[in-house]
Structure 1
Amino acid sequence: MKSFHDHLENLQSQAKKLAESGLALNSIFDQEEIRLKREDEASSLRAVYRAVEEQLQRLERTEASVELGHSQGNLILSLGGLAVAAMGSKSNRLSAMRDYLLREPTHRQQPFGLVMVCIGPKGLPDDVRGISISQLARESNRLESQIINKLREDGYLLFSQEAFSALIDKLTGDIQEGRLSLPISRDKLAEIAGLNKSKPSIKVIEAE
């Protein structure tokens, strides 16, 4: 009888150890699943950054090309004007030359080259793109500062490429440490970036 009792206690002890081992394994599996999820989200965020970076580079090349074409066109028009003026009297030629040299360069009258990262109400990773502030300013005949202010009033977050890179670095670190997870709303991003925490009305900008 005693032998049976000892055997039963031994079985119970082994069962308890197996149960504890099973719980420990479950905990390990759960932790690994969480770690992999965090790494996937961090990787997804880095992929978003690379895609936006490529957009900005394309926009910068386009801006440079448009500015060059604009400058060359203005140069041709200016030289044509001087050629016509040169056909007049000496005093008229001097007056035309003076006016040309004192005139504000035409290419400064239209903005070129300012591109930024724009994040909409859905936040990251789904509502972010690169935009040309200069192009929007030219198309609407406004100053770049007016375009920036209008976008911010409409609820968009705007970042330079450098600021966006720093933001992504911080976000990926927070995700890997478990302090943050995707998606990240516009308001949360504004809080993290230390921007205005108000909730202005939102409008949708069509992709270029």
Structure 2
Amino acid sequence: MYRERAARVAGAVLWESVGTRDGVARVLPDGCLDLLWSSRRGLLVAGPDRTAQLSVSAAGDRWVGLRLPPGTGPAVFGVPAHELRDRRVPLADLWGPAAAAVAERTADGRAVGAALEEAARDRLRAAGGPDPLGAHLAGRLAAGAPVGVVAAEVGLGARALHRRCQRLFGYGPKTLARILRMRRALALARAGTPLAEVAARAGYADQAHLTRDVRELAGVPPAALLRG
């Protein structure tokens, strides 16, 4: 069982998953960082992934997550995104004693989502909000704008843009653009668009290029993801 809703943090999504049987879920990269609560593992931070991660769960396992929009995670967690890349770390490792208050609020498994939202809002307020460049870069790249065009728009050279993207998203602009293009393509395909048309609309050279790119990022071709 999985459900999600818009969170009370700008641009974020609050989601909950309860395992109905033992299994493995494929979690696709999305350029986001998540604040997680697990009924078995407690409070965790999921860093930005470069490729799909396989999440093993057992029947009855419950997860609640606050998925922060691309570029917002560093302001919440207090570290550059690249330090969390492809990692799952205890929240206490980043927040120290401050994580104890969140752990206490979520100990009984009730009102977990509200506790995660409040904690993230407090941290954002203390940090003065996220770097506004993050939302701009993610929005332009998600829309398919070329990296060079985006760099010129924000007045940054290639190296400076790469450094800013590493801090904000965990990887450089080209990797982020690939990930966001894959997600755009999958959204089109799930809406019923044929894969050949998806490839053209999402900016791939052809359907074979789409298949190769999705396989590299997700571990399986688009058809397998759509069946899942």
TM-score, length of structure 1 as denominator length: 0.22
Q: Say which structure is richer in strand.
A: 2
Q: Say which structure is richer in helix.
A: 1
Question: Larger relative contact order (C-alpha < 8 A, sep ≥ 6)?
Answer: 1
TM-score, length of structure 2 as denominator length: 0.21
Whichever of the two has the greater Rg, that structure is 1
